[in-house]
Amino acid sequence: MKIFVYGTLLRGMLRAPVLNDSEFLGLGFIQGSFYDLGEYPGVQDGNDPIYGEIYQIDTSTLEKLDRIEGYNPAAERQSLYLRKNVFVTPFDGGTPIEAITYFYNGDITGCNPIACGDYRRYIMENTSDDQWYLAYGSNMNHKQMIDRVGASKQVIAGYANDYQLVFNKRAEDGGVAANIDYIKGNQCPVLAYRLTKDQLNKLDIYERAGTHYIRLGLQFYFMDKEKPRFKLGHVYIAHPSIVTEYKVPSKNYLNAIRDGYIQNGFKTGELMLRGIHPFPY
């Protein structure tokens, strides 16, 4: 069965290891209302988008999750969370996926709403003034980033597991722009910029956040003394409503990304165009 998770079970969060043996199926969102309950979040009925991850789980994992979430099917009124069926909109623009998730069964009076709809982003924004931003497209070009938001405090080359650079975000000029999509086993090169919150807010304007792209939290890793270190960063992912078929981007746009790969030590062979062969330029 499939489950949608939105809180401490997300990759990079406290209880993520519970799902280590479950198959990750990508990102999506449901409709509801979202609250900070203190040590964890909770969902109740509503109409706001709530972003999270989809997994394929077995019966033993479901039983473990029921215990973690305080759900007892024999005593639902006394349960901390209730297990419900939902339809998850995947970020690849595909058909909604039926899954289960846990709804909070308590009183949310006095609880802070999580207005951004994304728990990882919410945690990052409320725990540090500095924020990691993950660029995978033309913002890997240092000059472009400086022109847009100014110099960053630190830059790190890393990867996002199970994602790949794709060109399926519909652009206003009729072409396509960069996006990332779930591709099992792949590693997507990313450039992590350490920015201020004000710089991120400026970037929201360039990326048309909320309509063209959604800014979400995502786990990434980089190598430190030959060992991987994992962190959370902000990433812009195309809204499913403007996802189109894979196409070849313009030559100038693709070359800007290729320059960013070269600047940051990535092999240009890692710049693959999904569904497009051979390399067009």
For residues 163 and 51, membership in a common domain is answered with no
Question: Domain check: are 146 and 250 in the same one?
Answer: yes
Q: Are residues 61 and 155 in the same domain?
A: no
pLDDT of residue 173: 86
Same domain for 253 and 160: yes
Annotated binding-site residue numbers for substrate:
133-138, 253
Residue 136 sits in a domain whose CATH number is 3.10.490.10
**b/e sequence 15-29, b meaning 16+ C-beta within 10 Å:** eeebbeebebbbbbb
- Residue 74: the pLDDT is 93
In this structure, are 165 and 235 located in the same domain? yes
| Residues in binding site | 133-138, 253
Q: Which of 98, 207, 226, 270 is catalytic?
A: 207
Judge contact between 210 and 164, C-beta under 8 A. Answer: no
Structural domain count, the chain:
2
Structure tokens at 130: 């500095």
Judge contact between 37 and 111, C-beta under 8 A.
yes
- Per-residue pLDDT at 93: 85
Those residues of the chain that have pLDDT short of 70 are: 272-281
DSSP H helices, 126-243, are 142-149, 197-206
* Residue ending a domain, choose from 63, 82, 117: 117
Q: 139 lies in a domain?
A: yes
Backbone angles phi, psi at 278, to 5 degrees: -80, 180
Task: Sort 281 into a burial class: Cβ within 10 Å, 0-12 / 13-18 / 19+.
Answer: exposed
106 & 219 share domain: no
d(CA 114, CA 51) in angstroms, rounded, equals: 11
Query: What was the pLDDT predicted at 143?
Result: 92
Domain identity same for 50 and 153: no
Assess if residue 281 is contained within a domain: no
- Domain membership of residue 82 (yes or no) is yes
- Residues facing 77 on adjacent strands: none
Q: Could you tell me the pTM of the whole model? A: 0.94
- Give residue 180's domain range: 128-270
Per-residue model confidence as pLDDT tens digits over 264-281: 999 877 776 665 555 666
CA distance 165 to 95: 21
Let me know if residue 123 belongs to a domain.
no
Q: Based on C-alpha coordinates, what's the Rg of the chain? A: 19
The encoded tokens of residue 270 equal 């890692």
- The per-residue pLDDT for 116 is 97
- Among 89, 117, 145, where does a domain finish? 117
Q: Is 207 a catalytic residue?
A: yes
